[in-house]
Homo-oligomer: A and B are copies of this chain.
Amino acid sequence: MSMVDPAAPHGAKLLPIGLLGHGTVGAAFEELLADRAAHVEGLTGRRPQIVGVLTRSRGDFDEILERSELIVELIGGVDDALSFVRRALAADRDVVTANKQLLSRHGEELWQLARERGRMLGFEAAVAGVVPVIRVLRESLAGTQVARVHGIVNGTTNFILSEMTRTGCSYEVALAQAQHLGFAEADPSEDVGGADAAAKMAILARLAFDVPVRFEDVRYEGIEQITADDIAYARELDLALKLIGTAERIGDGVSVRVHPAFLYAGHPLASVGGSFNAVTVEAPTITEITMSGPGAGGVQTASAVLADVIAAAAGGARGVGPVPAAVPAPVVEDVVSAFYLHLRVVDRPGVLAQIARCLGDEGASIKSVVQRGLGEQAQLVMVIHPLLESRLRAAIARIGELDAVQSLPRAIRVIDEEFE
């Protein structure tokens, strides 16, 4: 390769970078890199420089690959990205990607390829933006047997739920506000439906437990069904509603799931507002660590990409190191959780006893119950002590058949330190 960088000091050793994608993050990364190139050279002895950019309308991948030592993949999507990352690793290039969908579907293949080729596959920017949860799991907690990870890993949904809590507005109004402010896409379905968070939790679970976890292994729900009522009742109980990703060891298996959940006020994720992301890692030997910060944003995500580029410039295959091979473990589907239940009932003698019997028959124990309203308009809000979800579902089905119950109970999980 013969390349001349007119801006580089005489004799500086270049790190030629091929950039795939030039959207918000790609453009921010190009700008940030230009600004910090001299600093990176001072740290690592190598001056990073973008030598080719691939977009839908310009650039040729093979030509860019030929000229690069490092490929930064920011095009998103799965199929093309998979092909490019495969080819880059196979050609002995280091790769940095922010693509959570790619890694949650094809991570094992790509990490295996990186191990075989002795290359770095950096992906700090794929989860929680600038919050350094990937590096902390891989390095700081490399010796720790992680028990559980809880995360707010989608900024769009956290913004919407924070707005609903702050203003009392409906889901639809909060979504429109998020779109207006640029916190939600025109088509927000991947975010609000939970798929984005599910992909990120698959990656976190993979790193936390060293077991293969694919996107398909993650059960997820979104926030589209959350009502202003749910949030209003929760506030009275001093609960915060968040879209929570959970990855935990259960016996010899793991459970990875994403769903709306109520947090007690003392939980470290309860105060994470706006579009911020946060992740709590629990283990006996560390108690818990919580990390929070912006989960998205062009320059913030570009900063996470830059951290991986610096690791590559410093000799990434040894620096960040390859992700260890995964050891399979069963995915546990039915897990224990506490629940909030909201029922519309006709207020007449014996109704609560009927409901309590349905719950009790399935082993569900009531922690608290509040009745609001009278007559045909009565509502019951209950918190149920932890039990297997399948048992609660069975109880709910029976409750739904009672004459005095006017609609199927709304059930939302509760994460409660007392219980755990």
Contact = CB atoms under 8 A, between A and B. Distances in A.
- The residue in A139, A288, A299 that gathers the most chain B C-beta atoms within 10 A of its C-beta is A139
B315 A300 contact: no
Interface of chain A, main secondary structure: mixed
B287 A293 contact: yes
Interface string A264-305: 001010010100000000001111111111100101101110
Contact of A130 (B139, B289, B319): B289
A131 to B, nearest CB: 6
Copies assembled: 2
A13 interface: no
Given A132-B136, A140-B124, A324-B42, A287 B307 contact: no
Contacts of A142: 43, 307, 310
Contact of A135 (B135, B286, B294): B135
A405 B140 CA distance: 54
Contacts of A273: 266
A145 B286 CA distance: 29
A141 interface: yes
Given A130-B287, A139-B307, A287-B130, A315 B314 contact: no
B324 A43 contact: yes
Contacts of A140: 124, 132, 135, 304, 307
Contacts of A42: 324
A163 to B, nearest CB: 15
